[in-house]
């Protein structure tokens, strides 16, 4: 009896499917390890909302978790076949954005400026060019930075509660510059554009905190900014 279907073809298909499933499972295992480290770093940094004196220690501990993530990304890089980064990137996109947020928060708390994509990539052991293989995608970097705005708006409110009335003004200047920078971009990515749209609410929330501090006369910086100079009559 003739066979119109070559069953060996399906056997080969099954081998491909089995290999693909095994590869994806190995990727998921490493990603879960990264997620655990990121969770630990997040927990460490939550202390900034209740005890300003522990900020330096929290940043130091978080850096250790981030350094450990770099080793995990090296494992991911070894797993992903050359030239197939975007085929599997959906597994690590979200956690990478989350780590960029954590790195940006640590750098801001330590030095008060915005971390660059190059520095963030270096901290995670990633490249910055697509042609170099496993890299930090620009959109993942930008989405991570936008997560920072929401955290800083919360931090501004809690800083006032803890008696630090100058910090909200500094945060307001930083987020204002960040907002200006993002407005220079022509964002065609839907997720990025939607997240940027939410930035205006973070800006507004921080401005309300600064206004409240200023109107109550709690911040010397805000007060001196709003009061006009009075020239003495001669």
Is residue 151 part of an annotated ligand binding site?
A: yes
- Cβ-Cβ contacts under 8 Å for 166 (sequence gap 6 or more): 219, 220, 221
Pair of tokens at residue 186? 């022509």
CA 171, CA 157: separation in Å to the nearest integer? 10
The answer to whether the Cα torsion of 133, 139, 116, 44 is positive or negative is negative
Buried b (16+ CB within 10 A) or exposed e, 36-63: ebbeebbebbeebeeebeeeeebbebbb
User: Helix crossing, 190-215 with 167-183: angle to 10°?
Assistant: 150
Give yes or no for a contact between 98 and 59, defined as CB atoms under 8 angstroms apart.
Answer: no
Pair of tokens at residue 92? 């690590």
Which residues are documented as binding site for Mg(2+)? 151
Residues forming the annotated binding site?
151
């Amino acid at each position: 009896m003739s066979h119109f279907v070559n069953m060996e073809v399906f056997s080969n298909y099954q081998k491909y499917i089995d290999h693909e499933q095994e590869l994806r499972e190995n990727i998921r295992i490493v990603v879960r390890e990264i997620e655990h480290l990121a969770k630990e770093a997040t927990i460490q940094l939550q202390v900034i909302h209740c005890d300003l004196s522990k900020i330096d220690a929290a940043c130091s501990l978080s850096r250790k978790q981030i350094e450990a993530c770099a080793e995990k990304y090296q494992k991911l890089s070894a797993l992903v076949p050359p030239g197939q980064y975007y085929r599997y990137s959906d597994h690590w996109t979200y956690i990478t954005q989350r780590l960029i947020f954590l790195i940006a928060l640590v750098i801001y708390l330590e030095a008060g400026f915005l971390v660059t994509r190059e520095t963030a990539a270096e901290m995670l052991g990633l490249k910055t060019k697509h042609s170099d293989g496993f890299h930090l995608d620009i959109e993942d970097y930008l989405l991570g930075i936008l997560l920072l705005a929401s955290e800083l708006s919360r931090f501004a409110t809690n800083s006032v509660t803890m008696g630090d009335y100058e910090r909200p003004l500094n945060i307001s200047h930083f987020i204002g510059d960040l907002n200006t920078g993002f407005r220079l971009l022509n964002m065609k990515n839907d997720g990025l554009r939607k997240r940027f749209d939410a930035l205006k609410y973070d800006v507004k929330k921080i401005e309300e905190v600064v206004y409240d501090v200023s109107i109550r006369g709690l911040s010397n910086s805000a007060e001196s900014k709003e009061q006009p100079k009075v020239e003495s009559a001669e």
